[in-house]
Structure 1
């Protein structure tokens, strides 16, 4: 067969394959039954043309082989050709070497499974390993994508790439073809993007000479294939140093060195995902004058996935990559996946997932949570029991789906109402443990209340008790700030002052004294807006007492004593024993630090007397 004819057939074959891949993605994303059926017909047409062209190419190659005496070329075929920017993964590469290659002892096994989310770099890892160890496989390396194909088609394709044509009328099954062609060869086979364990079982050749790497999004597939524990490798996001090094390889050292902090922000916004970093590299290489800071700003927007794609390149599109995993889900599971995006970014409990997804019981929700984890759309949290966490970009993908499917508002309402009812529950022991388990999810409720313009202060005060009981100061600051904003919106000035004072107390317990003073500073102007004089004086005294205590902790003793004496003068006018006792105790401590012992003793004596009278 003439080379031009072969190239023309290969070009047509690849065109039909690309069309099929595009239609399969569209079929997953559409919810319209008529459109799904239309796409099904188009996919069927593509498969028919692919099979026809593959058969024609195979037949023509056979005739060409019979008419030429060209020497056989040892195959080196990879599913991902460009691995020049591959970075890191030293531990995984070492694992693969120990698993698959004879060194000083017997290799551990002849099959390894690489599992992980789309875009994580499973194929790149397999291809880089093959490139590094090409010499260890004298009969070659063959790596092909196997998703969407039946076992017979895959087996014949692998055999053809090894130079052995299988006649269309050959009645051998896929298992026999793979066994006859590869069992005796010292070759590496890569089954890329595997989906069906039953198909892979038919393809895996027995024996110790042939090595196999399987890449898949299905974390359960390696278990189904009985791959030993040491042969199952979970591919995780790159580390921070590895991500920076990859970005440097893509953009050059000078560009990274010019904006080092922005570079770190970019890799964080990319979720340390290799595919996202490759896309960012491609985008910035195409515009050498664009500053990294400007590009980072575009990634901070809510729909950042729209930026993480290269137009007209389906292989460089984060959302399209994630969408392929949706074909493993039922419509109701896609809805559940979408709704979970309203949960806390750092993880959430099964209990909160159950409520957010509107499930009737936790164990039904657990089944679908396990399914999402199986296909790498969700991860089991490393800390805590029955807790789950999204990769940040997959969470962004789920959020976009929730908005598109009209699910986000209802999911956020279920999420918020579940926690509001939980916090107000009378079962204190259970509530405390449940709050601790989902503390950041509960803080999101304050955002929801702001959006709903619903000042549920009882919810805030219940949580204040929890924060102070268990010392969750950082979360307490974030929570009280949100309720401060809510109180300002409703012009509840008394509560604005209260929430600012609480923030300052928690910041001081975190030793953030300067930030605490910044939070307290506006109170002098806010006090004038409190109409009831006694209330205004009471909060004036509380403000000064808190400020004085913070000054004392910073060893600003003169300022502290002066501030606390002002607070004492107001408290004496109010004649409120509890307020007097608190300010006298703080004043006595400050005077003691100044070595003004007589004044300190007097303050402490007064405080004790007031406390005794109050107790009586």
Structure 2
């Protein structure tokens, strides 16, 4: 119980054993958005221990946090503080949420947090002298849970160790409490909880065994038998395994209605200790984080969820076998009964090892005589599991094709460890509680340098650091590529790192610099093993991916590239992903390692004709033009781009609404730049500047001013070289917009004057009117209000003559500011009202947002704070609905300015911080202006504008 800031008595309680919940007194509070609830959940799961900012960032965004990640976390923490203590002054120390150099912690005690209460009850039960007393405490603790830790689906699916640890605590207690209940003859006390937890952990054999015994003790023999049969089928289907010893013993009890039976004796008479591991690399370096993670899990095998399968997957040449072998040597002493190794040759479907043949070899290695090995695969698997049942074996399965090759080779007992490697996806092995699947990435630069130094020696590396760095960059962190060039340097007397770097440079991005006489280390040969396993359609698509200019590709773009129908494209593209020649870098976006891409480019040039390559590039250009055109109709429909014609073999993809359109442009930003550049290089100048027209609205609403200027400058230069006057005029006007937004208004005016001249020569009245609008806007910015009014009036007359109501609304919106500046205040407000009404009639939410923003600014200048706040809020709501980031930032900054001028400093600070959190680094001037506003708060200065 605490006394709140206003003097009231407030009871605050938290729950994390189930959905994250918070109460103040009898009122349940809303913990906020999904990410904010995750922040609170992590604080609660730590139960008073500190959580660093980096841990929050890693939990929310993994390895790709946004630049503003720290600010966003601070925003969530601030909101939580205000939720828990609404009257708390800014920067005042809070009762519940405290922060220091070690991180942030939630200061809740046993009476406030169910997790702490749970732990007290568990300890009380364990220290009780009487089973009935212990069971009472355990039952009270079990009652506290309402589901898995952080039980909302979006939280339970979040891979955070702290959440899993809380779930495991509960499962540990469930097993312990069931044991006490069985001994006390009181299973009905725990049975309802046991059923629920067992349903949430269907492959936890120890827990299922407890449930089976509890059902037998409760007289529910038929249900116990059905439970075991269902578990056995599930284990066989999902893992290719039989139930383990503990579950089998529980079933024996069920069969004999409570009379325990001994497990079958192990086959000891013929066991030998095999040692089949491949030699470890003498200079293994890198992978320190991966090794630490796996070794920690393996060393914790006695924990609730031991690791019994470690599957390592990744692209060709990334070092899967090397890591598995090194890992095997690191843990071999923990498996005293020996090591088994098999190359399953999964890269070649025709030569892949059958599991039955591998079992025969393993049984021979384990000392089973040939005449004692059964003929059928299932009988061999049963014997194999029986031989290993009480043993601690280390088993390495290399070059696996799929989980079906692995499952018959898994030991039945819990004491062994299986290491698996594959180029293909092994996600099916992660379904078991003891399964861990690692996707191996290329080496980071520092570990790649270490690998080279370990091979060539420290002295050469120190004397030629630039060459070392160049080799690392050109190898793209691929261990096999680094090993090849290191071997070349070692085997040629007098061959320096600078010579290696020059060879790679002379290869001009091809694989010539990474060739080898040994087919097991030649990159072309290594990549070809995956390529040869593709169907003809997938092989063609792989080759044609080299014609795609961007850093990554979607399924729709890949289908267009190859002219594949949508119905068959997914299966064909899936082959490339399965083979690891292409990997999913982000959800729905795929790419190949630079050296694999170089291999595809070589194949394309060797196999595909020039006409086929050109046709593929034309299709992919048509795909991006058509999709950008459809998306831009939601973003900036008045841009006068020509509708792209239908193109055979091109996927038809259309965003459903403005938010989806903005998301498509954001995802394809880098690709669209590359597509325009490729089009200009291929002489497709018209298509390039048409595509730029479709992209500029996105640049404008997201604030990518400098990138916009770079892209349009390239298109302008190409149009000038081609003598495309229409393209020149469009790109002059577009470049003026980019220059204006980066603050170069004088250059913008010059470019617009040139564009207006060309549009007038071409007789393009609608583009004349648009250019006059732009001239009016820039003239206003430089203080030439008379010219601004004149240009806007001319533009308005042209828009009226064309019947273009969208243009009319836009001109009126901008004209209002100019009229206000020359002293016609009432007229300015009247014109804005007309613009807003017209925008509402048109259903143009972007224009409505602009009108509200401008009117809010005028109200602020007149100190009409209530009206100003209302317009900022309306603009914010509209900008959020259409996904217009620039308008949203302007609205939040404006809300802060109005609040500051009205003396409401906490609201001003909150609004400005929210605006800062929305920044992406695209507009440094705007971000600096927001920082200056926040600095004024710290120094107590007046005046909010900057």
TM range (shorter): 0.5 to 0.7
- Contact 1:339–1:356 under 8 Å retained in 2: yes
Q: Look up the match of 2:828.
A: none
Give 1:416 deviation, angstroms: 1.2
Change (3 A) 1:473 1:276: farther
Give 1:191 deviation, angstroms: 0.7
TM-score for the superposition, normalised by structure 2: 0.44
Query: Counterparts of 2:537 and 2:415 in 1: how far apart (Å)?
Result: 45
- Contact 2:777–2:788 under 8 Å retained in 1: no
Query: Counterparts of 1:244 and 1:577 in 2: how far apart (Å)?
Result: 57
Query: Counterparts of 2:315 and 2:292 in 1: how far apart (Å)?
Result: 21
- Aligned pair partner of 1:442 in 657, 672, 679: 672
- Aligned pair partner of 2:460 in 252, 255, 260: 255
Query: Counterparts of 2:779 and 2:599 in 1: how far apart (Å)?
Result: 56
Could you give the per-residue CA deviations for residues 495-550 of structure 1, whole angstroms, max 9, x where no partner exists? Answer: 67985896697479679x9xx99xx9xxx9xx9xxxxxx969969xxxxxxxxxxx
- Contact 2:582–2:592 under 8 Å retained in 1: yes
Q: Look up the match of 1:565.
A: none
Q: Look up the match of 1:295.
A: 500
Q: Look up the match of 2:276.
A: 77
- Aligned pair partner of 1:233 in 438, 441, 458: 438
Name the SS of the counterpart of 1:76 in structure 2: coil
Q: What are the equivalent positions in structure 2 for 1:113-132 lying under 5 Å apart?
A: 113-132=311-330
Give 1:412 deviation, angstroms: 1.6
Give 1:213 deviation, angstroms: 1.0
- Contact 2:712–2:731 under 8 Å retained in 1: yes
Q: Look up the match of 1:463.
A: 695
Structure 2 residue 497 is matched with structure 1 residue 267: no
- Contact 1:156–1:165 under 8 Å retained in 2: no
Please identify, of 434-443 and 133-142, the stretch whose mean Cα deviation from structure 2 is larger. Answer: 434-443
Query: Counterparts of 2:500 and 2:540 in 1: how far apart (Å)?
Result: 32
Query: Counterparts of 1:209 and 1:340 in 2: how far apart (Å)?
Result: 46
Give 1:428 deviation, angstroms: 0.9
Q: Look up the match of 1:156.
A: 360
Query: Counterparts of 2:338 and 2:536 in 1: how far apart (Å)?
Result: 43
- Contact 1:345–1:389 under 8 Å retained in 2: no
Q: Look up the match of 1:133.
A: 331
- Aligned pair partner of 1:143 in 321, 330, 341: 341
Change (3 A) 1:510 1:293: farther
Query: Counterparts of 1:287 and 1:510 in 2: how far apart (Å)?
Result: 54
Give 1:414 deviation, angstroms: 1.2
Could you give the per-residue CA deviations for residues 474-501 of structure 1, whole angstroms, max 9, x where no partner exists? Answer: 5434533442442354255896798589
The higher relative CO (CA closer than 8 Å, separation ≥ 6) is in 1
Please identify, of 276-285 and 89-98, the stretch whose mean Cα deviation from structure 2 is larger. Answer: 89-98
- Aligned pair partner of 2:286 in 65, 84, 88: 88
Q: What are the equivalent positions in structure 2 for 1:201-600 lying under 5 Å apart?
A: 201-219=407-425, 221-223=426-428, 226-228=431-433, 230-287=435-492, 289-300=494-505, 301-311=507-517, 313-361=518-566, 364-382=568-586, 385-406=587-608, 407-425=612-630, 428-429=633-634, 430=655, 433-456=663-686, 457-473=689-705, 475-491=707-723, 506=738, 588=783
- Contact 2:545–2:561 under 8 Å retained in 1: yes
Give 1:123 deviation, angstroms: 0.9
Could you give the per-residue CA deviations for residues 48-84 of structure 1, whole angstroms, max 9, x where no partner exists? Answer: xxxxxxxxxxxxxxxxxxxxxxxx99543323x2422
Name the SS of the counterpart of 1:191 in structure 2: strand
Change (3 A) 1:226 1:123: same
TM-score for the superposition, normalised by structure 1: 0.66
Query: Counterparts of 2:775 and 2:407 in 1: how far apart (Å)?
Result: 79
Change (3 A) 1:490 1:229: farther
Change (3 A) 1:264 1:580: same
Name the SS of the counterpart of 2:370 in structure 1: coil
Give 1:190 deviation, angstroms: 0.3
- Contact 1:99–1:231 under 8 Å retained in 2: no
Name the SS of the counterpart of 2:511 in structure 1: helix
Change (3 A) 1:82 1:282: farther
**Structure 2 unaligned runs (5+)?**
1-270, 346-351, 635-654, 656-660, 759-770, 798-946
Change (3 A) 1:254 1:288: farther
Query: Counterparts of 2:402 and 2:553 in 1: how far apart (Å)?
Result: 30
Count of matched residue pairs:
472
Query: Counterparts of 2:571 and 2:445 in 1: how far apart (Å)?
Result: 33
- Contact 2:274–2:340 under 8 Å retained in 1: yes
Change (3 A) 1:303 1:391: closer
Query: Counterparts of 1:247 and 1:509 in 2: how far apart (Å)?
Result: 47
Change (3 A) 1:116 1:442: same
The two structures, once aligned, show a CA RMSD in angstroms of: 3.9
- Contact 1:194–1:214 under 8 Å retained in 2: yes
- Contact 1:455–1:486 under 8 Å retained in 2: yes
Give 1:101 deviation, angstroms: 4.5
**Structure 1 unaligned runs (5+)?**
1-71, 528-533, 540-575, 589-603
- Contact 1:112–1:227 under 8 Å retained in 2: no
Give 1:192 deviation, angstroms: 0.6
Please identify, of 157-166 and 372-381, the stretch whose mean Cα deviation from structure 2 is larger. Answer: 157-166
